[in-house]
Structure 1
Amino acid sequence: MLGGHMMTSDNLALGLLQNALTASSLRQAAYSNNIANADTPGYKAQSVEFESLFQNAMTTAPAAQLGQKSMPISLNNSTALLNIKPEVVSDPNTTVNNNGNNVDIASQMAGMAENQLRYNALSQDMSIRFTRIENVLTGV
């Protein structure tokens, strides 16, 4: 159930897209924070884990135990997948600079650009889905 209504594939897709957009938004904030702290002694870069958590849930689902590498997203396993939330993590064991900081500006900038493209694609996907739902409701 999502919002008191029976789970549909549209609800599932929108919920998963929402979680992915949240992860992308958090990731953008982490990149910005990392870049802002590039010269802060001892600062450890933050990153956001989401896709790996999602992939883990897919490969450890019951169907994976039957020899499949992954389990297709279905309405039956949707609750577990919708409960996967992005996590902000940092790596305390690496050092890039002499001051103990591990921010690599070039990699942070590249990651930020890639993440912006991902966010734009996710936003466009969500917009298209909402337009289709609106067309169904208005009879267009």
Structure 2
Amino acid sequence: MSEPAVLNAIMVAMKNLSYRQQVISGNIANSETPGYKARDVKAPDFSKLIDASLTRTSPRVSAPRVELTPGMMALGMQPVGLNNATILDKDISETKPDGNNVTLEDQLMKMGDIQAKYTALASMSRKLDGFMSKAIGVKV
């Protein structure tokens, strides 16, 4: 029996948040390393999961396609589709004279956001498990 698409999406999102937590922890650990650039993790692409769950009669959902202009690249935008999941963090507020751009306050805010999202996903997973158990008549 295969997993429901919702449960699969929750698991993918939780794994992504776990990896993102590791990357943010690395940023904090290197906050005093000269020249270190803060990193972040790309959000998972759920369009494949959505496409797989839609029937032929349902409308299709796909990621928007954007052509990068030289002006957008000058602002730091990068093409999407790089195989690398770790990217340079674009949400930086300052760069120190030694080239390090890790701001502890920003990184701690991101950690709090990750924790809140992970907790919400874990709660959704437990509720979904409870619903499925009730549906098949198993007491939890």
CA positional deviation for 1:138: 2.9
What residue identity is the alignment partner of 2:100? N
Aligned to 2:53: 75
Q: What TM-score do you get using the length of structure 2 for normalisation?
A: 0.66
Query: 2:87: which partner in 1?
Result: 89
The alignment's C-alpha RMSD in Å is: 3.3
Secondary structure at 1:101's aligned position in 2?
Answer: coil
Question: What's the counterpart of residue 58 of structure 2?
Answer: none
Gaps of 5+ in 2: 56-61, 64-82
Structure 1: how far apart are the matches of 2:116 and 2:136? 30
1:40 aligns with 2:33: yes
TM-score calculated relative to the size of structure 1: 0.66
The secondary structure found in structure 1 opposite 2:35 is coil
> Does residue 24 of the first structure (1) align with residue 22 of the second (2)?
no
**Closer, same or farther in 2 for the Cα pair 1:86/1:112, shift >3 Å?**
farther
| Cα distance between partner residues in 2 of 1:40 and 1:127 | 41
Task: Kindly report structure 1 stretches of 4+ aligned residues shifted beyond 6 Å.
Answer: none
The total of aligned residue pairs comes to 112
Unaligned regions of 5+ residues in structure 1, if any? 59-71
Deviation at 1:46, TM superposition (A): 1.2
Cα deviation code 1:34-65 (max 9, x no counterpart): 011100111111101115x44xx48xxxxxxx
Residues 94-105 of structure 1: matches in 2 within 5 Å?
Answer: 96-105=95-104
Share of identical aligned residues, percent? 26
In 1, the alpha carbon distance for the partners of 2:138 and 2:15 equals 31
What corresponds to 2:114 in structure 1?
Answer: 115
> Alpha-carbon deviations, 1:4-35, whole Å to 9, x = none?
x46xxx61001111111011111111111101
